Amino acid sequence: MTSQPLSFDRVADIYDATRALPDHVLATIAQTIVTATNAAEASRFLELGVGTGRIALPLLQYGFSYTGVDISPAMIDVLRTKAGDFEKLTLVEADVTQLPFADASFDVALTVHLLHLVPDWRRVLSEIRRVLTPDGYYIYGSDGSVDGQPAGAIRRQWRDVVRELGADARPEHGTREAVQTELIETGALLASYRVVQWEDEVAPGQLLEAIRLRTFSQSWQVPDDVMEEAHRRMIDWATEQYRDLTKPVSNIFQFGFDMAWWPPSSQGPNMERQKE
Ligand code: SAM
């Protein structure tokens, strides 16, 4: 499958301000990953689509050797600046569908908010399996608002309005369910961790403005005129729902991950397919 990788260069300077997770949430995520994977200081971590290091930085505190891959030089630059002099951090500009690493060179591989952006996400999974040691772990992580919460409802409504206007938000590729199915087909065992939930307040008007400014990648292919009309319709819809759009409303967010590993006996149906 050929397609341009979805570089986040255009939002590198606002990414942290618009996707920040509270410190205690980051610490809990890192601790849960370390416990789940039984990681020790000698463990070699690989994070694909590492971005500005939201997840990498708290894990680096444990002293692991950590390799981050991203297609966006601007995102990597932000991470490099924040990381300072962590000796065991290696940052590589590459496409995650073609990893420039030898077979079996990592103990843990992570993707957080990545595979839904990659049309050929199955290839990424097979690259992950190639570069993991046979007893390595793969972690598929994601965060977002819990179902039914205002932030998710607003973004869902925006997608519907864009569709009504004859355009499409960027499609979701490697969704959690699709990735789970694919992993199981390759003979993996899976464990799901609902790691942490937290509450935050968001003013609906502020979220609508962020959407209008194309802060989120779903909007990057939507034409300008559709963006403006969708914004007008969203203001009307949100005013009916929330009345005062400047007043922050409570939202519950969550972070969770699925962890996959391949027991020695695993010979799932895809093992044959991969050999062809
Ligand atoms: N994992 C980080 C986090 O959770 O904050 C960043 C997630 S951000 C939504 C997705 C990142 O993946 C961006 O930095 C983008 O440049 C990168 N990316 C998207 N497609 C890629 C590809 N095919 N190869 C390498 N990096 C890619």
Report if residue 215 sits inside a domain: no
Report if residue 239 sits inside a domain: no
214, 220 contact by CB (below 8 A): yes
Report if residue 110 sits inside a domain: yes
Provide mean pLDDT across the span 252-264.
97
Report if residue 64 sits inside a domain: yes
Q: Where are the alpha helices (DSSP H) in 90-243?
A: 121-131, 150-164, 176-185, 204-212, 224-242
Instruction: Give residue 73's domain range.
Output: 9-147+172-202+252-263
What pLDDT does residue 234 have? Answer: 98
Task: State the pLDDT confidence band at 221, using cuts at 50, 70 and 90.
Answer: very high
Task: State the pLDDT confidence band at 273, using cuts at 50, 70 and 90.
Answer: very low
CA 47 to CA 110: how far, in whole Å?
A: 5
Report if residue 120 sits inside a domain: yes
Answer yes or no: is the C-beta of 114 below 6 A from any ligand 1 atom: yes
Task: State the pLDDT confidence band at 265, using cuts at 50, 70 and 90.
Answer: confident
- Quote the number of domains for the chain: 1
Report if residue 257 sits inside a domain: yes
97, 125 contact by CB (below 8 A): no
Answer yes or no: is the C-beta of 127 below 6 A from any ligand 1 atom: no
Q: Where are the alpha helices (DSSP H) in 3-145?
A: 15-19, 23-37, 56-60, 73-83, 121-131
The CATH number of the domain where 112 resides is what? 3.40.50.150
Provide mean pLDDT across the span 129-139.
98
Provide mean pLDDT across the span 75-87.
94
Report if residue 236 sits inside a domain: no
| Cα 112 to ligand 1 centre (Å) | 8
Residue whose CA is at the smallest distance from ligand 1 atom 19? 6
Q: Which two tokens stand for residue 216?
A: 């989120």
pLDDT averaged over every residue in the chain: 94
Answer yes or no: is the C-beta of 124 below 6 A from any ligand 1 atom: no
Report if residue 268 sits inside a domain: no
Examine the pLDDT at 259 and tell me if it is beyond 90: yes
Question: Looking at ligand 1, which atom is closest to the CA of residue 141?
Answer: 4
Provide mean pLDDT across the span 87-94.
96
Closest by alpha carbon to 257, among 175, 137, 141?
141
**What separation, in Å, do the N-terminal and C-terminal C-alpha atoms of the chain show?**
17
Answer yes or no: is the C-beta of 96 below 6 A from any ligand 1 atom: yes
CA 276 to CA 269: how far, in whole Å?
A: 12
Examine the pLDDT at 198 and tell me if it is beyond 80: yes
Which of the 8 DSSP states describes residue 38? Answer: T
